[in-house]
Amino acid sequence: MLKGKRIAVIGTGYVGLVSGACFAYLGHRVIGLDVDTNKIERLKRGEVPIYEPGLDRILKKAIEDGNIEFTTDYSYAVKNADYIFIAVGTPSREDGSADLSYVESAYRSIAEFIDGDDFKVIVNKSTVPVGTGRWAKEFIAGLLREKGVKEPEKRFEVVSNPEFLREGKAVEDFMNPDRVVVGADNREVAGLVASLYEPLQPPILITDLPTAEMIKYASNAFLATKISFINEIANVCEKLGADVTVVARGMGLDHRISPHFLRAGCGFGGSCFPKDVKALIHTAKSVGEEPRLLESVIEVNERQKLRPVEKLLKHIPDLEGRTVAVWGLAFKPETDDMREAPSIPIIRELLARGATVKAYDPVAVENARRVFEKELHTHPQRLIFTSDMYSALEGADALILVTEWPQFKEVDFDKLRGKVVIDGRNLWNPTLMRKYCTYESIGRS
Ligand code: UGA
């Protein structure tokens, strides 16, 4: 029987909420904290404020078992937890560096409620630049010293425990981790954090603080590199009559390469890859390195996002007065997250070229309306969100598929008859599609 540990999770975004709910599901006693009162009120009512498959079931079970509660009260969370996980956002600043203001503010609030006889394990789950953990130790010790706590370094330890959760598969990834990485200067405390995952029996890697922080960045940067690599290969394949999907399959059979993250398409988006690669570039430059490969990963990706529009222009050179349907707005299927989604530059480019855009996504329309607030104001007649996929096609000259939601796969091909279809995710079979429409995809000539 697992002896549940007392855990607080600061931040109830997808990382914090999934981690908290899963820890509670495993039998730990979890307090979820957020400064957003509205979010906490919804969570208290059992409502899940984000779209994450499987999360509602896990959360419901955790609530029924009495293993999770929610609060906005730092004092309560800090006093009633031995492990305090920080899972707040670290957005990109203008120069690509990570904005640590939410993390810093969490440290301040935690320090406020650490007393002279406490020992708290403060765990960074947020992706923070390499070096943040060691800096945090000094920062928090300084705050404790200021309020008169004696020997402040004995009252807490900072641990890095990066997350490797994919949005849309976050619960599955938490429950079946490829590895759990724990970095700390104190190995015993690192072992305690690793033991929280014991029921999952994951491979565990214990490291020092900066190494754990770097593993997170290097992993995301490597996956992003694979994507930009295959996209570049795809663009060359097109010109030479090769098929990138088969090329990727052939490469992936080599276990040193692996078949994953070799799907060519219209680029990567999301809250992690673009932000983390940019932050790593910034960190590398700050220590005098020239991270050329990483810079190219971003550059290739920015160009790739507009590739579908370039392909469309080959068939319809003047988009003024034409109508283009866009299927899929979220940065990938199974999420309503619009951050850095390729649909954003694509739609902006179509509008700039005078087209009317009819866009559909199964879950992301509400978020998309916020992203395109300005465009909806400037071109109210030219940007239309539809409530089903086929309404978007009505009167459209062309269709661009940006996000490969499974339901698009089973399309009624007759509805595409006569249109120009640009498949940005290689979802459909080219031979079949060409019977119905003018069809182009990525890396398949
Ligand atoms: C990514 C990582 O996969 C997680 O391991 C990590 O924990 C997370 O970032 C994070 O740092 O929090 P996520 O951004 O949710 O997860 O999404 P992915 O499934 O990795 O996809 C990212 C983007 O790459 C999507 O736009 C997707 O369409 C694109 N992609 C992915 C491709 O274009 N080709 C591929 O072969 C795979």
User: What ipTM did this prediction achieve?
Assistant: 0.99
How confident is the model at residue 2, as a pLDDT? Answer: 59
| 364 CA distance to ligand 1 middle (Å) | 17
How confident is the model at residue 50, as a pLDDT? Answer: 87
Q: Average pLDDT in the 409-436 region?
A: 96
In this structure, which residue's CA is closest to atom 35 in ligand 1?
261
| 226 CA distance to ligand 1 middle (Å) | 11
Long-range Cβ pairs for the range 44-52 (8 Å, 24+): 44/70, 48/17, 49/12, 49/17, 50/13, 50/14, 50/17, 50/336, 51/334, 51/335, 51/336, 51/363, 52/14, 52/17, 52/18, 52/167, 52/168, 52/170, 52/171, 52/335
pLDDT in tens, 219-264: 999 999 999 999 999 999 999 999 999 999 999 999 999 999 999 9
- Which atom of ligand 1 is nearest to 340's Cα? 26
**C-beta of 156 in contact with ligand 1 (< 6 A):** no
Predicted TM-score (pTM) of the model is 0.95
Does 1 score more than 60 pLDDT?
no
Residue extent(s) of CATH 1.10.1040.10 domains in the chain: 217-302
**Top CATH class, 306-440:** alpha beta
- Which atom of ligand 1 is nearest to 216's Cα? 11
> What's the topology of domain 6-207?
Rossmann fold (3.40.50)
Residues 6+ apart with CB under 8 A from 343: 326, 328, 329, 330, 331, 359, 361, 368, 402, 403
Residue extent(s) of CATH 3.40.50.720 domains in the chain: 6-207, 306-440
- Which atom of ligand 1 is nearest to 267's Cα? 33
pLDDT in tens, 259-277: 999 999 999 999 899 999 9
> What's the topology of domain 217-302?
N-(1-d-carboxylethyl)-l-norvaline Dehydrogenase; domain 2 (1.10.1040)
In this structure, which residue's CA is closest to atom 10 in ligand 1?
272
- Which of 167, 235, 344, 346 most suits a substitution to test ligand 1, by most atoms within 8 Å of the C-beta? 167
Query: Can 272 be counted among the known catalytic residues?
Result: yes
